[in-house]
A and B are shown apart, each in its own frame.
Chain A
Amino acid sequence: MKEKGFDYLNKITAVDYVTYIEVVYMLYNTSTKHLEILKVKLDPNDAAIESVMDIYKAADWYEREMSEMFGIKIKGRDAKRLLLEEWNGVEFPLRKSFLWGKPYKKAD
């Protein structure tokens, strides 16, 4: 995509559809002003995706946030501390299986 002129990574996010997880990449072309949306489907039980950080540096925090909120493993990245901290890394708050109002266990 970068060779085609999409030089700006606007956003990476994910949506949990229960049967599958969809990762959404939003790429932007700063010369033609065009926004392109790419979607990748993942298996929710074993979600893992390649890192794009070597292409777009902007992916750094988005990927960390996504792995923290959805439990998606990012291949090719060192295991770093969680971004928004204090989550135990076992429950993933933006998954639909995470119920609203449930007391949450702190990391040991």
Chain B
Amino acid sequence: MSVVRINVGPIHPSTHGVLRLVVDVDGDTVKLVEPHIGFLHRGVEKLCETRMYMQSPSYMEKLDYIAPLAWDELYVAAVEQAMGTPVKDGAQYARVILLEFQRIASHLLWIGTLANDLGQLITAFMWAFRDRAKVIKLLEDVSGSRMFYVNMRLGGLYQPLPDDFKERSYGLIDYLDRTMPEYLDVLDKNEVFIDRTKNVGALSRDDAINYGVSGPVLRASGVREDVRRSQPYYIYDKLKFDIPVMRNGDCFDRYRVRYEEILQSTKIIRQALAMMPDNADVVGAPIKLIGPAAKPDPVVMRREIPRGEGLIYMIPDKQRPYRISLRSPTFINLAVLPKLCEGVKFADIFAIMGSLDLVLAEIDR
């Protein structure tokens, strides 16, 4: 049979943002997939060169609007290193707790949209959004904003934590520990879900390293690699948690890794809450456009953000970055899509694409 070239999109599927694919199919078998990106390219790296340091966090949040706090923190941490600002002790605990809540919210949304893509498994979708809304509500009460928190300041957070923060956090993680096993009933025991994810889009361990994927996609292929462990920041070296790893590297394993990470995150939050002093001082410096001049040494800042390894390489100038380069984890996770889609059925492209947890705004930057 002859090969037919099909244009898919630009679409806005469980990937968040606009992606276009050009697919060569022979019958129903995919021969070649070529992702076309760039629809959301805003030139954030160039934009940051023209702005003062503390004007940029809100741009960083728009990179990944599913987990904005992660990019916010990554950028502010890079600036803190450039300026030599220490982070307050209480703020370290608060940041870890908020980042892990952000990871839970991001993974929950991903589980929901993946289930929605794979044959309208609406139950899991609704449950995931129900639970995510509770996490978002807590983050909203901490920062004052529902979606783009802009909650990080040099040395700490924007405002003190609410008085009932600890009780509410304990209540929320107790709730999550209780409800998370319910997802196993609607997903792991669901024949449709298993059929569409097991042995679909498998990535071997060597390929995963060679293609440079990171985060849950890398760990699903059997590489125990997590920046929180390999280069601990804040209080992560004091906490006990596992790094979930699977072996097959298929879509189902990527789902399992993210699911287990939610449970590990609740574990981390519980420990951090117990260790955090009461009435901790978490408030950082207010935003000043002209601050102390930054040191000129290049900054390499690595963080485990929900989608993988985020990295900022910054050449600081005195009041604004001379050059800032962002390693967005999904950029390179999408580059592996043509490899994953070799020889699969056409409908599996969307399962694979969904399992990579793409956010196109972060890819195009």
Give A residues with C-beta under 8 Å from B. 7-11, 13, 15-16, 24, 26, 30, 33, 35, 37, 56-58, 60-62, 82-86, 93-94, 98, 100
Contacts and interface: CB of A to CB of B under 8 A. Distances in A.
B335 A60 contact: yes
A30 B209 contact: yes
B332 A85 contact: no
Given A10-B311, A16-B323, A58 B210 contact: yes
Contact of B311 (A8, A26, A30, A100): A26
Given A30-B225, A83-B37, A85-B36, A15 B211 contact: no
Given A10-B327, A26-B311, A84-B364, 17 more contacts: A7-B210, A11-B313, A13-B325, A26-B313, A37-B300, A56-B210, A57-B210, A57-B211, A57-B212, A58-B210, A58-B332, A60-B335, A61-B332, A61-B335, A85-B37, A98-B46, A100-B49
Contact of A30 (B45, B223, B302): B223
B170 interface: no
A105 to B, nearest CB: 16
B230 A33 contact: yes
Contact of B209 (A8, A15, A33, A62): A8
B72 interface: no
A15 B43 CA distance: 15
Given A61-B332, A84-B364, A10 B36 contact: no
B331 interface: yes
Contact of A35 (B38, B302, B323, B331): B302
Contacts of B37: 83-85
A24 B327 CA distance: 12
Contact of B335 (A10, A13, A16, A58): A58
A100 B50 contact: yes
Contacts of B50: 100
Contacts, number: 72
Contacts of B302: 35
A10 B212 contact: yes
B305 to A, nearest CB: 14
B92 to A, nearest CB: 22
Interface string B188-223: 000000000000000000010111100000000001
A100 to B, nearest CB: 5
B309 interface: yes
Given A16-B323, A93-B46, A84 B210 contact: no
Given A16-B323, A94-B45, A61 B313 contact: no
B340 interface: no
Contacts of A85: 36-38, 41
Contacts of B339: 57
A10 B309 contact: yes
A24 B323 CA distance: 12
Contacts of B313: 11, 13, 24, 26
Nearest to A80: B34
B55 interface: no
A56 B207 CA distance: 10
A11 B311 CA distance: 9
Interface in B27-59: 36-38, 41, 43, 45-46, 49-50
Interface string B289-319: 0000000000010100000010101010000
B209 A7 contact: yes
Nearest to A14: B325
A11 B327 contact: yes
Interface string B121-164: 00000000000000000000000000000000000000000000
